[in-house]
Amino acid sequence: MRVRNFKLCALLVCSLLAPAISDAASVVLYSNDFESPNQPVQINCGNSLDITGINTLYGTQEFVFHQVYTVEAVAIDDVIGLYSDPEGKGGTV
């Protein structure tokens, strides 16, 4: 009798959690439009990098990036053409 009750409880718990688990995959934790930085990306390091902090460029009052091993912003349209974007996926900044 105890085994049957345990199985029924387990089945009930699983049936209640299944919709929550399937919905959790669609929850957006953070969204940002990286096409619109807070200030224009400037080439100030080498020939194509902007060393401005990521929070200065894209952070908000509600969200800050935890900068651990982050990289600079890269200007794809640098003056000497070091980078290319033949598929047009690199943005306009």
Averaged pLDDT for residues 6-31? 60
The model's pLDDT over 33-83, given as tens digits with 9 standing for 90+, comes to 778 889 988 888 888 888 898 889 888 888 888 877 766 788 887 778 788
Supply the pTM of this predicted model.
0.54
Count the neighbouring beta carbons within 10 Å of the beta carbon of residue 73: 21
Q: Show me where the domains of the chain are located.
A: 2-74
**If DSSP states are collapsed to H, E and C, what string results for the chain?**
CHHHHHHHHHHHHHHHHHHHHHHHCCCCCCCCCCCCCCCCCCCCECCCEECCCHHHHHCCCCCCCCCCCCCCEECCCCCCCCCCCCCCCCCCC
For residues 45 and 11, what is the distance between their CA atoms, to the nearest angstrom? 59
